[in-house]
Structure 1
Amino acid sequence: MSATEDGYWRDKMKICRLALVFTAAFLVHISAAHAAQKDNDTGPQIQLTETTHDFGEVDEGALLEHTFKVLNRGKQPLHIEKVSPS
């Protein structure tokens, strides 16, 4: 085998190894994403009927009130620990 052919096969093996490493990394990534999705399917899942509310123009000092409907579409309890108005 000539030096040129030897270099060709060495380069080809490097490319194959690199492709194998990237494929393995991709499969690990996909597997982790799938596992995270599975956990999300069984855990709490918050759903809001609306995420914002505009009171429009109001007088200064007026007392404003609005109720947001919060639903738990998951299979585990949903704990709301902190809510802050903007």
Structure 2
Amino acid sequence: MLRGMKVLFLLLIFCCWAGSAQGAASAPRPAKGTSKPTARAAPAIEIPETTFDFGEAFEGVEVEHDFVVKNTGKAELLIDQVRPG
């Protein structure tokens, strides 16, 4: 019984390894002429002020504040989703 469990465990490990190797081999590659940013040419976001306290806000009065977002990296910084918190 114990030997059967060992064989089953090794078979499971082999299947996981083979599946991950297959997935890595079939991963899409970037089209020719396009380049993926390297570690040196990656975007880097800098947000000096991450919170702002409006203090007391009255009902019906619109409040507004601008946050500065700066790309200090060497590649284009894409912001595709912003969530208020």
TM-score by length of 2: 0.52
Q: Secondary structure at the match of 1:44?
A: coil
User: 1:36-80 deviations in whole A, cap 9, x for unaligned?
Assistant: xx71x4200000120011101110121011100000000000000
Please name the residue that 1:76 is paired with. Answer: 75
Structure 1: 4+ residue segments shifted above 4 A: none
Gaps spanning 5+ residues in structure 1: where?
1-37
RMSD: 1.4
- Please give the alpha-carbon distance, in whole angstroms, between the structure 2 residues aligned to 1:62 and 1:84: 22
- Please give the alpha-carbon distance, in whole angstroms, between the structure 2 residues aligned to 1:51 and 1:68: 7
More helix by share: 1
The aligned amino acid for 2:80 is E
Paired positions, count: 48
Gaps spanning 5+ residues in structure 2: where?
1-37
- Please give the alpha-carbon distance, in whole angstroms, between the structure 1 residues aligned to 2:81 and 2:53: 21
Bigger radius of gyration among the two: 1
Question: Identity over the aligned pairs, expressed in percent?
Answer: 46
TM-score by length of 1: 0.51
- Please give the alpha-carbon distance, in whole angstroms, between the structure 2 residues aligned to 1:54 and 1:74: 29
